[in-house]
Amino acid sequence: MAFPQGFKVPQDQGGPGQGKLIGGFGGDPSKSRDDHRDAVQSIGKAPVILLHGNSGAADSGRWHMLDLQQMLLKAGYPRELVWAPSYLGTGTLDLQTPHVNNVNEVREFIDNVCEYLGVAVVDIIAHSLGCSLAYAIFRGLRKPRQGTQVKFDDQSKRWNKLGTFVALARAFHGLGPSAVGEWESDGAFMRGLLAETAGGGGETPYGTNDPTTPDPAHNIRYFCGVARGDFIDNQNPGTGKLAGAINKNYDLGPADIGHEKIKESQVVFNDFFSQLNAVPPGGRVAIVTDKTSGNYPAPLTITVHVEPPDRSVDYGAKRVTKEFRNGFIITRSDDRLQGTLQDAQIVEISADGMWEVVFSAKGTADLKRTYWVGVEPIEATIVTDNSTPFAGSLDIVATTTRGTLYHSLKGDMWSEGSTITITSDASPQFIAIDSDGTASEVVTKAFRTIPTPSAVTATVVEHYVARRISLNEFLAYGQQFGFTTQITLHLVNGRWILAGPPTT
């Protein structure tokens, strides 16, 4: 479980994880709630909640949501905006009543994410069971008491918190005549699930051309991706579609193969990505200064502009010196300035020295600048190339225009020296400080190791020694093929899978 400090993690109220705090991931655990809210306003995008399917968990197992998380990050979403609960413990299968067992904690998770990030609306990307579970939450499903009937009510509805709903490989219309429990196409749950009358009714309430949701008023955008021929679609063709949604079919393989690939396909992601953020979190605030970080003569005047121009900007400036002491970079400040500016007003800095200035406004991330006023700046540069991945170890070398170089892997503990050796993915940082305490800005580069091969051929024994297979797999493959027979394993979503007969 990885959530930031101050986020209220719901307790699992039913099913295999009952009584424990739910798992999953969300935001950036190293940052505060204010940092998360600043990130939301700065990027101007609605946060995204990922909901896994049956027998799955958000961050482990075959049905995890990590591929979707990575695709969102690569597409420009900061980590602070992407969240995913694990509502089935570590991923236990629940065939009878997974919706009513888990509806309360997932509803609470959505509410808590909205409160933590300071937003009214989120986007949902769901897979398999997660789709109808999310839909049941919007519809107002309540967890019934033992032996009572399935019930939907107005007080539990969450349509107003949904901006875009992406549903991948789902059974909105049940799994046909042979299904049991909540999956019966003509059962009480499925009949109630699509029986919404508010918001224009139909299967996409509050959708395009419908009435808007209550406070905040908006329409919802629906996208349904069907893994045609997977084990869901095979049981009841078309069950993954909603009338009125953007419905798209994908041929990604039969049975469980297509069911898995639909949540990991870049093609599918590209199709629904443009539908996200249909309801942004609010107007974006922009702060612009007429002078970037750099060297300037004294006195220095900085003109600040803010958009929209009726917003004010707070600033704090401090003249600093830095020194290395016992593994830490210590910052000392002698002079400070602070105040509030309106659009096009000026800050003046008259004293010589290195100045760190922070401009802030509600609704955007802080703007940080470093000015060397009347003093020669120091530059640190990482000269090692990071354009290609490395194997084994790599020496990262930095240079400076003057002063002494210090390096760090995480920005907490520092060591003196212009070279640091890494053996895995890392983003080392360097800073240079002269004898007067004037320092460079911290510089960093990301370096990546050569990826693990996607296929390895070796004996069953060698695969076991390399920890590619478990003890049970070692015994099973050894009995089937012989312990010294070479077999080829393929790396699929972090797990080594046997993909063919042994090599002869």
Secondary structure (H, E, C), 327-387 = CEEEEEEEEEEEEEECCCEEEEECCCEEEEEEEECCCCCCEEEEEEECCCCCCEEECCCCC
Comparing 12-21, 51-60, 253-262, 296-305, the range with the smallest average pLDDT is 12-21
| Domain co-membership, 362 together with 241 | no
C-alpha span between 210 and 201 (Å, rounded): 9
| Domain co-membership, 258 together with 143 | yes
For residue 273, what are its two tokens? 């990505």
**Which SS3 state, helix, strand or coil, does residue 217 take?**
coil
C-alpha R_g of the chain = 27
| Domain co-membership, 351 together with 387 | no
Does residue 504 lie in a domain region?
no
| Contact between 363 and 284 (Cβ < 8 Å) | yes
| Domain co-membership, 336 together with 481 | no
* For range 359-383, the mean pLDDT: 88
| Domain co-membership, 227 together with 243 | yes
C-alpha span between 131 and 3 (Å, rounded): 23
Does residue 464 lie in a domain region?
yes
For residue 189, what are its two tokens? 């749950």
Interior angle at CA 15, CA 10 and CA 18, nearest 5 = 45
Does residue 449 lie in a domain region?
no
List the domain range (segments joined by +) for residue 411: 380-444
- In 227-360, alpha helices (H): 231-235, 255-261, 266-273
The Cα-based distances of 440 to 337, 354, 385, 413 in angstroms read: 21, 9, 21, 17
pLDDT class of 367 with cuts at 50, 70, 90: confident
Is the predicted pLDDT of residue 373 greater than 60, yes or no? Answer: yes
Does residue 321 lie in a domain region?
yes
| Domain co-membership, 133 together with 29 | yes
Does residue 278 lie in a domain region?
no
Q: What is the domain count for the chain?
A: 4
| Domain co-membership, 82 together with 202 | yes
* For range 98-103, the mean pLDDT: 91
| Domain co-membership, 268 together with 314 | no
pLDDT class of 374 with cuts at 50, 70, 90: very high
For residue 442, what are its two tokens? 């911290």
Does residue 5 lie in a domain region?
no
Residue where a domain terminates, one of 425, 444, 463: 444
Beta carbons within 8 Å of 275's beta carbon, 6+ residues apart:
164, 166, 221, 223, 246
Over pLDDT 70: what percentage of the chain? 95
| Domain co-membership, 249 together with 366 | no
The per-residue pLDDT for 501 is 59
Write out pLDDT tens, residues 210-257.
Answer: 899 987 889 999 999 999 999 899 889 999 999 999 999 999 998 889
| Domain co-membership, 19 together with 138 | yes
Does residue 142 lie in a domain region?
yes
Residue where a domain terminates, one of 421, 444, 467: 444
Query: Which CATH number covers residue 249?
Result: 3.40.50.1820
- 135: part of which helix (H) or strand (E)? helix 129-139
Bond from prior residue into 254 cis (ω within 30 degrees of 0):
no
Does residue 1 lie in a domain region?
no
| Contact between 97 and 182 (Cβ < 8 Å) | yes
C-alpha span between 208 and 321 (Å, rounded): 57
The per-residue pLDDT for 456 is 84
Comparing 195-199, 213-217, 321-325, 359-363, the range with the smallest average pLDDT is 359-363
Query: Which CATH number covers residue 331?
Result: 2.60.40
The per-residue pLDDT for 493 is 66
For residue 428, what are its two tokens? 């080392």
The per-residue pLDDT for 78 is 95
Exposed / middle / buried, residue 359 (Cβ in 10 Å: 0-12, 13-18, 19+):
buried
Q: Which of 430, 445, 428, 423 is nearest to 398 (CA)?
A: 430
Is the predicted pLDDT of residue 3 greater than 80, yes or no? Answer: yes
| Domain co-membership, 79 together with 186 | yes
pLDDT class of 364 with cuts at 50, 70, 90: low
| Domain co-membership, 331 together with 437 | no
Is the pTM above the cut of 0.75? no
* For range 340-344, the mean pLDDT: 95
Residue where a domain terminates, one of 373, 394, 412: 373
Is the predicted pLDDT of residue 8 greater than 70, yes or no? Answer: yes
C-alpha span between 22 and 83 (Å, rounded): 13
